[in-house]
Chain A
């Protein structure tokens, strides 16, 4: 099976972000970057399929400047076979532009399965996977949390609000991966050594014209200070009243 996984390099979210001088990007000073977790799970899903069918080939694709090669190498060190960098100065917010560039590359690859993470935490838009599927005209299942592939067909589970969907699809197909599908393997020491020798192709990204552009970034307002409603059980009626009338959660 030929499998492609599209991955993105994202900043560690465990920080207080600062807005850059241009007002439309986050200040990258002091930020640490790594592969998007959802994408790492997508890589893991591909490698699990490869574990079962040694004839499989896993290609990792990432769009962005040269630093994304690190992200690709990480996936290669986990066990993917080859990498493609679609070179661009930056990754635009516009998911359609990204999807156009990726699908132009994916179209020629003859992949049986194309995997994405369901979203990246930085842009938090979650549209590149299904948009690419649509541009490629391929069946697509988004946000899967389980996956079985057998005899050219697949079954996946999707988590909905308070429900689950069981979905069947034919191959080739595009899938986006949610939390819970698997735990990504850590690169082994031998994997890191091997990754250095694996092929990594660099091509220009064919990004379309953006139709959505970030005009401004801001930090959200601080949470307003709370208040103590009262003391002891006597304060319960007032709390319930506030939950009903002010917070409207009861």
Chain B
């Protein structure tokens, strides 16, 4: 039985999904160790305290709330000092962070301050006596490592989306605390957090990518792909090399071996036959859907779901169905 620390990632006064995933992971670790407590650190500007109850819902026995006007933006030094102090004084068996842009920044700093190692991008974990054993992708996911952490506390940063946030209501006792250092004295200052990238989602970051190939027949037919992307609302549009070579789309939209590498939650290939060069750019996508009229097209070999048919029929129908589904969401 051991207590586990979780760092709840926030942006402004919002708790991020990865923050709840960290709490869920910490809960699992505590339970696996025989039922210790989860203590979650919630750090942010005034208003963040209101989110403590939500953190309790996901399995935190205690929520340490650090509310400070100087924390409107992420402050790496305040977060490092505050988390490290708390982990040190709390005697935790493990501390869970997220492998997000913020977590990648914070977890190694906290670990170094505590004089322990850290493993990021953790896929899963087990407790084996004195050791916490985790799985971690190496060589851009082409090799999976099993890693033994003998450090105490064991510091891990979970890969996003591998553990779904699970409701598991615990007391969520709120404990108000002060930041370990005054945000005004931090040397590194985030002076601005700009939301979004001006509306157009970047291919590499979009959770959904819709890509079109030669099967669309002409540049103007890319409108079908754009319409489907707008129905999703969180989708970016990509293209194959054949299409960018023909000037239907800019080269910056090209997905493939020589173009952009994407790894979205959902990849929809529209009229793409699936040359290996293209597959190299998207095969790590979590779910792949292909629509192509040629049932022998190689893309169907990697697609989780395929529809054999005319893109000019299927895509408008899919666009309408996605619009409908999003309405009820």
Name A residues whose Cβ lies closer than 8 Å to a Cβ of B: 11, 13, 16-17, 19, 26, 93-97, 99, 118, 121-135, 139-143, 158-170, 173, 210-220, 223, 225-233, 235-237, 239-240, 242-244, 247, 249-250
B310 near A232: Cβ-Cβ < 8 Å: yes
Q: Which of B33-41, B45-53, B174-182, B296-304 contacts A (4 or more CB under 8 A)?
A: B296-304
Q: Which residues on A sit within 8 Å (CB–CB) of B194?
A: 163-166
> Which of B102, B133, B304, B309 makes the CB contact (< 8 A) with A247?
B304
Binds A, one of B19-27, B72-80, B87-95: B72-80
Quote the shortest CB–CB distance from B199 to chain A (angstroms). 11
Q: Chain A residues near B115 (CB, 8 Å)?
A: 96
Q: Which residues of A contact B102 (CB under 8 A)?
A: 160
Chain B residues, CB < 8 A from A235: 307, 309, 314
Identify A232's interface contact among B151, B196, B208, B309, CB under 8 A. B309
Tell me which residues across on chain B come within 8 A of A249, comparing CB atoms: 208, 265-266, 286-287
When the two chains form their complex, are residues B187 and A169 in contact, meaning their CB atoms are under 8 A apart? yes
Tell me how far the C-beta of A37 lies from the nearest C-beta in chain B, rounded to whole angstroms. 11
> In the assembled complex, how far is the CB of residue A247 from the closest CB belonging to chain B, in whole angstroms?
4
CB <8 Å contact, A211 and B150: yes
Q: Which residues of B contact A214 (CB under 8 A)?
A: 145-147
Chain B residues within 8 Å of A237, by CB: 321
Q: Point out the residues of chain B lying under 8 angstroms from A211, CB to CB.
A: 116-117, 149-151
| Interchain CB contact under 8 A, A165 and B109 | no
Q: Are B190 and A142 in contact (CB under 8 A)?
A: no
Q: Which of these, A16, A131, A244, contacts B108 with CB under 8 Å?
A: A131
A230 to chain B, nearest CB (A): 6
A52 to chain B, nearest CB (A): 23
Instruction: Kindly specify which of B61-69, B118-126, B211-219, B246-254 makes contact with the partner chain.
Output: B118-126
Contact B287 A243 (CB under 8 A): yes
Q: How large is the interface on B (under 10, 10 to 19, 20 to 34, 35 or more residues)?
A: 35 or more
Q: Mark B124-151, 1 if CB is under 8 A from A, else 0.
A: 0000000001001111111111111111
Given contacts A166-B193, A217-B145, 16 further A-B contacts (CB under 8 A): A124-B139, A126-B121, A135-B112, A139-B187, A160-B101, A160-B193, A166-B192, A212-B149, A229-B307, A232-B307, A236-B314, A239-B307, A240-B321, A243-B289, A250-B266, A250-B326
Instruction: Tell me whether B1 is interfacial, beta carbon within 8 Å.
Output: no
Most chain A CB within 10 A, of B147, B191, B201, B310, is at B147
* Pairwise interchain contact B309-A168, C-beta atoms closer than 8 A: no
A229-B305 CB under 8 A given contacts A96-B117, A163-B196: yes
Enumerate chain A residues within 8 angstroms of B245, measured Cβ to Cβ: none
Q: Given the complex of chains A and B, what is the CA–CA distance between A28 and B42 in angstroms?
A: 44
Which chain B residues border A125 with CB–CB below 8 Å?
A: 118-121, 136
Q: Contact: A166 with B142, CB < 8 Å?
A: no
Which label, helix, strand, loop or mixed, suits the secondary structure of the A interface?
mixed
Give Cα distance in the complex from A128 to B104, angstroms. 11
**Are B307 and A165 in contact, CB atoms less than 8 angstroms apart?**
no
What's the least CB distance linking B90 to chain A, in Å?
Answer: 19
Looking at A16, A226, A235, which has the most chain B CB atoms within 10 Å of its CB?
A226
Residue in B closest to A16 when the chains form the complex, CB atoms: B142
Q: Chain B contacts of A132 at CB under 8 A?
A: 112
CA distance A139 to B149 in the complex (A): 28
Query: Does B276 lie at the interface of the complex (its beta carbon under 8 Å from any beta carbon of A)?
Result: no
For chain B residues 212-236, which have a beta carbon within 8 Å of chain A? none
Q: Interface 1/0s, chain B 158-196, versus A by CB < 8 A?
A: 000000000000000000000000000001111111111
Residue ID in chain A nearest B134 by CB atoms: A212
Query: Do B321 and A127 touch (CB < 8 A)?
Result: no
A-B contact pairs, 19 of them (CB 8 A): A11-B139, A17-B142, A94-B117, A122-B138, A125-B119, A126-B120, A135-B112, A139-B188, A160-B102, A167-B188, A168-B191, A169-B189, A170-B187, A211-B150, A212-B148, A215-B146, A227-B306, A228-B307, A249-B286
What separation, in Å, do the CA atoms of A97 and B150 have in the docked complex?
14
Residues of A within 8 A of B275 (CB): none
* A134 x B287 contact (CB < 8 A): no
In the complex, A125→B118 CA distance in Å?
9
- List A contacts of B303 (CB < 8 A): 226
